[in-house]
Structure 1
Amino acid sequence: MLVEFEYWWLLILPLFFTLGWIAARVDIKQLIAESTSLPATYFKGLNLLIADQYHKAVDAFSEALYLNKDSLELHFVLGSLFRRTGETDRAIHLHLNLLENYELTDQQTTSIKVELAQDYFKAGLYDRAEELFLGLRNTRYDQAALRHLLDIYVKEREWSQAVAMATELERSSGVSYRKEVAQYFCELAANAMISQEWGAAKAFLAQALDANKNCVRANVLLGDISAQQGDHQTAIAFWKKIEMQQPDYLGLVAQKMLKSYSTLSNDESDARKGLPEGLAQLHHYQEVYQLSSIMSVLYEGTLQAEGAEKAEKLARTELIRKPSLKSLDQLLQARAMLDDEQHDLQLMQQTVRNAIGDRAAYYCDQCGFRAKQYHWQCPACNAWESLPPEPSEATIRDINLLKRK
């Protein structure tokens, strides 16, 4: 029996070899057929994409899709290109046509809805986009849907929904959204402050600090509320807490602190009597942190309360320690006030002031957006806390580079 078994295998092995050779030939022929069925414009479009020539790539892929109307992948590529080039109406029409006129599997239908939802989002049709993204929850696109829903609620300033969505996304992805959630609560508090709903505003700010204990904005707003209610001692206490959070932000409240210290004066008819304690506090901050924004407030307060001579000394000390055009401008201003006959000093001061002009500004770390005043959220890229709290005196070269971006 053993000998017969070996002979049978000798007869069967060539048959297996022949069948394998035939199968391989069929696979090769099929591969060649599939590659040759792709229109040449498809490869032309790929080359244009690599070269970042998106509008020309649109034409190439449009021609490729005309020659191969059943290719779902070509539809997706072309739809993405339409969004990239701002032709969202064509992208919407393309994907709606797929849903209405093609027989699709459930998975294909879901994939097309993802594309269509992105079309609506790009076009600013947030209600339609929201409806589709909500329908994509609990699918394999769940996290992508959550991220887009969060973007929608932020753009529409629906802060309560943004909090809920960020919390869900945090739970789903494992990525922290504590900083963003705290900012959403601050936005809710700011809206409540406009309506003078002080209790609700304070509650929102407590939630902001619970979400992110280093949320500077929460203490800024808590101080603002106390100041508006006439409790300046409490306002100052809230603003002082910023030193324990992120001291670089103290410059944002320096002027407010000095004003509240002035208001605490026993003699309200002469607010200057309340300035010494406030000036001493700012002197301390400046010695420790050396922030240009605090120096500006300190100089103006010193000039008002103690006169040009003290202000000149302060500006000279700062200029020696940390040379800047702003400090030079302050020094020349004080010197000119001390001697009315020194017209050359006034001329020099005006020259320096013209030189620094609008150069001092806040520049977003994410996109380079230039702002004359501080924003908690960048108006250009919507990133939170991306603008440094201290303005920078950018050079003309820096400004030109940022403009090119």
Structure 2
Amino acid sequence: MVLDPLWLLLALPVAFALGWLASRLEMRQWVREQRDAPKAYFKGLNLLLNEQQDKAIDAFVEAVQDDPHSADLHFALGNLFRRRGEFERAVRVHQHLLQRGDLPGAERERAQHALAQDFMKAGLFDRAEEAFRALEGTLFDTEARLALLTLHERSRDWRAAADVAARLEKSGIGSFAARIAHYWCELAQEADARGDAAAAEAALQRAREAAPAAPRPWVLEGERHLRDGRVAQALHAWDELRARHPLTFPLVAPAYAQAAITAGQRARALELMQALYAQAPDADLLAALRLLDDPARSAQRLLAHLRHQPGLTVAAQVLEVAPSDWAEDTRTRLQGTVARAAQPLQRYRCAACGFEARNYFWQCPGCQGWDTYPTQRIEDL
């Protein structure tokens, strides 16, 4: 069959017109989709700003369904789920992103970081550690190492924490020497608990090497020697503490005084305590001076301290040396009343979060911060 050239001439304009019409329809559909997707997104954002998180999530879910390839919408939805504590749903969103083969490398790293945060918030620390380790060498390397450091601290894996902290310090983002010293001190205490004295001493040596000015290794060193009956060595360790970090010395002042009495060094210890007390009056130094000095002079010192720095703790000690002509019942009642009133003021308070504790902590049980407790109790601040 031979086609008439006239029909070809007529068919060409018709084909062109149909193609043009199809392209216009497709363009209009694409424009409509692009208009609807931002509308749903901004609707969700507006609801979020108005603290209507439930409706915001519904809007974002709708936006993701309309545009399943939009990574930013997935991230917004996953972050919303995490903030609401719906960690399982956040994990599913970010895992879906990671399974997409068309996701760029930078977005894949971002999704991996978000997934690690989901596991961290959900308390799935083993999976969080694995997810954060996958970020080594990426743009999130520093954030991942800092998160790993927190994970190791929570799990009390002090050796791994020391290794991560050392790498962070080498990267130049800051000094981690004091924290590394704490990690080795924790390892020393663990070694002492299982009776491994050699490992404990080696760990304390590593702590001193990591941070020569850190006070904790010298505190622990003195306590170890005193516990094992090596009084002279305990005094030497605490003398180093006094020389390097005098503000921390009051923590061991009463124990130092008792050790000095045992070693026959009462006069020397009394002279040292008097000099320290003159520089910075402190209730712990007062307690040490009571052990070392004459009772009459101790009573005068207590009264003088009470005049210049009124406090219930010292008042309770004054009642212990009250005149002998007081009735015993009166003395006991007053002493008990003052002692109970003084108890809340005899705590240490974290400077970072305000957590209070009867005992001194190197790491705050509340905010997990290191060296956040002043060495003075609330009453002495």
1:313 pairs with one of 288, 292, 300: 300
Does the CA contact (< 8 Å) of 2:254 and 2:284 recur in 1? no
Give the Å deviation of 1:297.
4.0
CA distance in 2, matches of 1:393, 1:59: 53
Do the aligned partners of residues 226 and 119 (structure 1) sit closer, same or farther apart at CA in structure 2, a change above 3 Å counting? Answer: same
1:289 equivalenced with 2:280 (yes/no)? yes
Does the CA contact (< 8 Å) of 2:119 and 2:128 recur in 1? yes
Give the Å deviation of 1:64.
4.0
Deviation digits for residues 315-339 of structure 1, max 9, x if unmatched?
Answer: 1021123222222222123216x23
1:135 equivalenced with 2:116 (yes/no)? no
TM-score, normalization by structure 2 = 0.82
Which residue is 2:38 aligned to?
A: 38
Runs of 5+ consecutive residues of structure 2 not aligned to the other structure: 1-29
Deviation digits for residues 338-380 of structure 1, max 9, x if unmatched?
Answer: 2342755544444333333323322112222222211101112
Do the aligned partners of residues 240 and 344 (structure 1) sit closer, same or farther apart at CA in structure 2, a change above 3 Å counting? Answer: same
1:365 equivalenced with 2:351 (yes/no)? yes
CA distance in 2, matches of 1:58, 1:323: 58
In the TM superposition, what are the counterparts of 1:222-237 in structure 2 within 5 Å? 222-237=221-236
Superposed CA RMSD in Å reads 2.9
Which residue is 1:385 aligned to?
A: 371
User: Counterpart amino acid of 2:280?
Assistant: Y
The alignment partner of 2:348 has SS state of strand
CA distance in 1, matches of 2:87, 2:157: 24
Which residue is 1:11 aligned to?
A: none
Deviation digits for residues 146-181 of structure 1, max 9, x if unmatched?
Answer: 212222222222222211211111122331111111
Which residue is 1:112 aligned to?
A: 111
CA distance in 1, matches of 2:176, 2:164: 10
CA distance in 1, matches of 2:185, 2:52: 43
The alignment partner of 1:358 has SS state of helix
Which residue is 2:70 aligned to?
A: 71
> How many residues are aligned here?
352
CA distance in 1, matches of 2:320, 2:54: 56
Does the CA contact (< 8 Å) of 2:158 and 2:184 recur in 1? yes
User: Counterpart amino acid of 1:227?
Assistant: L
TM-score, normalization by structure 1 = 0.77
Rg: which structure is higher?
A: 2
Does the CA contact (< 8 Å) of 1:198 and 1:225 recur in 2? no
Which residue is 1:20 aligned to?
A: none
Give the Å deviation of 1:392.
0.6
The alignment partner of 2:347 has SS state of strand
Do the aligned partners of residues 130 and 260 (structure 1) sit closer, same or farther apart at CA in structure 2, a change above 3 Å counting? Answer: same
After the TM superposition, list the runs of 4 or more consecutive aligned residues in structure 1 that deviate by more than 6 angstroms: 30-33
1:375 equivalenced with 2:374 (yes/no)? no
The alignment partner of 2:366 has SS state of coil
Do the aligned partners of residues 276 and 165 (structure 1) sit closer, same or farther apart at CA in structure 2, a change above 3 Å counting? Answer: same
In the TM superposition, what are the counterparts of 1:5-84 in structure 2 within 5 Å? 34=34, 37-40=37-40, 42-47=41-46, 49-50=48-49, 57-84=56-83
Deviation digits for residues 211-235 of structure 1, max 9, x if unmatched?
Answer: 1111100001111222223211110
Does the CA contact (< 8 Å) of 2:254 and 2:287 recur in 1? no
CA distance in 2, matches of 1:77, 1:120: 17
The alignment partner of 1:241 has SS state of helix
CA distance in 2, matches of 1:340, 1:81: 68
CA distance in 2, matches of 1:52, 1:259: 61
In the TM superposition, what are the counterparts of 1:350-361 in structure 2 within 5 Å? 350-361=336-347
Give the Å deviation of 1:143.
1.4
The alignment-based identity, stated in percent, is 33
Deviation digits for residues 247-290 of structure 1, max 9, x if unmatched?
Answer: 1211211122123223325xxxxxxxx75654444333222221
User: Counterpart amino acid of 1:356?
Assistant: A
Does the CA contact (< 8 Å) of 1:247 and 1:289 recur in 2? no
CA distance in 2, matches of 1:45, 1:318: 64
Give the Å deviation of 1:59.
5.0
Does the CA contact (< 8 Å) of 1:362 and 1:392 recur in 2? yes
Give the Å deviation of 1:56.
6.2
CA distance in 1, matches of 2:219, 2:56: 50
Does the CA contact (< 8 Å) of 1:167 and 1:177 recur in 2? yes
CA distance in 2, matches of 1:185, 1:163: 8
Give the Å deviation of 1:384.
0.7
Moved more, 346-355 or 239-248: 346-355
1:334 pairs with one of 315, 321, 337: 321
